[in-house]
Structure 1
Amino acid sequence: RKSIDHILRGGWHLLTLINEVLDITRIEAGHMDLSPEPVLVSQVCQETLALIEPLATERGIRLAGGVGEECGWHVVADQQRLKQVLLNLLSNAVKYNNAGGGVTLSCEKVGGGQLRVGVRDSGPGIAPDKLARLFTPFERLGAEATGVEGTGLGLALSKRLVEAMRGTIGVDSTVGEGSTFWVEFPLADGPLAGLGRVEEEAPSLAARHGAARTVLYIEDNLSNLSLVEHLLEQRPGIALLTAMQGGFGLHIARERQPDLILLDLNLPDMAGAEVLRLLRDDPRTSVIPVVVISADATPGRIERLLAAGATAYATKPLEVRRFLAILDEALGEGERV
């Protein structure tokens, strides 16, 4: 049994190494798909803390922070990649901590309209002469001799991801006291900002349908879900179904047969383009109109998805008038006998 466990750990270690090398290669080649949009930081913090909790419990490390009002801000980032970065920082804070230590996730506004998200540990700290090598690929600063598993690529990848999202990453450390790794991203208005003003200017857009309609929104960003939910509340004849993962969205689409599907491209379990392909290949969902919603407004991406079977393409942040017009047209096309 120990041999099998050892082989499995080695396999997962190798897979992680390969994925991290591929991610770095994509970034350096300019081929990394990113979807920058307003992201609610508290949501990402809560999700990453939940993911790291089993490891922390196993190692007797206390987790704190990440859920207060100080993290209730939006920043411009790719939600999945921001989660990947924070998960890496939290994982390191747990793995390289002292026995019975603690890890705190915090947020604070800093100069230049930025929000800083910090991961503080109570570990041994890092000597000043080693700090410059922290973000070098395959550099573990001697940690390979401690028995703690790692690839030496996590921080290098995190730095490249943060910078690709136009953010900043850094570290403050004191030997014998611990380290704080932090990232900074530009603050942004949430999707609901200014919505009331738009509604007052265009009340005629809140048209009502006589027959009951069902719309499925596949999206993992809670702020975007809230925005669409708020818009559709103006239309009593439309019922909204939601799914925060592509696989679950496919299941709902097949079981419930909605009149329209709104599809985000940047999902946690699978690419939105793959969800679209599976929807179009399945006879149960092939005729349901699909409106893609994404922050990626490049003409090539839009053309490819429309050619793959998307009914329309709406870019984030959503422009309310255009979105409601697309919704009206798609629902009209989606009437089935």
Structure 2
Amino acid sequence: MALARNRRSGRNVDYWPGFVDALSTLLLAIMFMLTVFVIGQFILTREISGKDEVLNRLNSQIAELTQLLALEKSNNQDANDMIATLQASLAAAESDKSRLQSLLDQGSGVSDAANAKIAGLSSDLEAEKQISAKAQNQLALLNQQIAALRAQLAAVEEALQVSEAKDKDSQARIADLGRRLNVALAQKVQELNRYRSDFFGRLREILSDRDNIRVVGDRFVFQSEVLFPSGSDELNDAGRQELAKLASALLEISKEIPDDIDWVLRVDGHTDDVPIKPGGKFTDNWELSSARAASVVRYLISQGVSPDRLVAAGFAEFEPIAEGETPEARAQNRRIEFKLTEK
């Protein structure tokens, strides 16, 4: 009588798993969107940092050229000052020469010393003229250098403007790429969620007569006792029958999933918190949970499921779904979970 009541109560409509399934799907979509945002931010930061380095290098070159231009301008000013001084000296010498030559022409009884002074002034005048010509050449050379520096500065500024324009275009393309990537990933998540719902719906239909097989969030959960004897990783006959049904449903739904959705069925092994007894096949619960997950994967492969669509993982006792140390709680924690997800 008690067993009958339990079976009737087990078939009551339970809306909680469906609510958890919808909530988990929403959380998965949000996590994907956050992941895409972080990737986009990383790519954008790397692109911007590279452009900043180019801009900094160009700004450094502009600063150097500006300093050189200022130095050349200073040298140019010095040369102009020297030329002005030489020209003033030249004018004064020419004035002295003219004055002395006038006195000589007037026959004012200028002595030989005056003639010598005139000769010396003439010699100094020629020397001043040579110095002035040299200064003029130096000034012309400085002007040429200043013109070359200005041309180089203009080229650098033009290159900087081109770089800034490319940087803006690159940032715009990165932003557009991020938006398109977000849309594409959201579409893939929605598609996979739809196929996951179809897969779980079919599993519910073919496995609905088992009270120890249920849906928890986005996972299909088999209690370990359905598949394995206690402490073993060898599938029992009943477990093979149930896994054969699961493999059939997976093969059927896999034909409908588009090739561009890179999906896998993840098989997770879990144990309770009771330590493994020494001397057995397994040294701890890690080995037991991993071996059970691997046994399930190998059996699904034998039923025709592609190996590249399966993943086995062991979690030992560290992912419990029921708290406490009661036999009921430990029985719930001993389980194999199936989750249809992306690689």
The structure richer in helix per residue is 2
Please identify the structure whose Cα radius of gyration is greater: 2
TM-score (ref. length: structure 1): 0.21
* Higher RCO (CA-CA < 8 Å; seq separation 6+): 2
TM-score (ref. length: structure 2): 0.20
The structure richer in strand per residue is 1
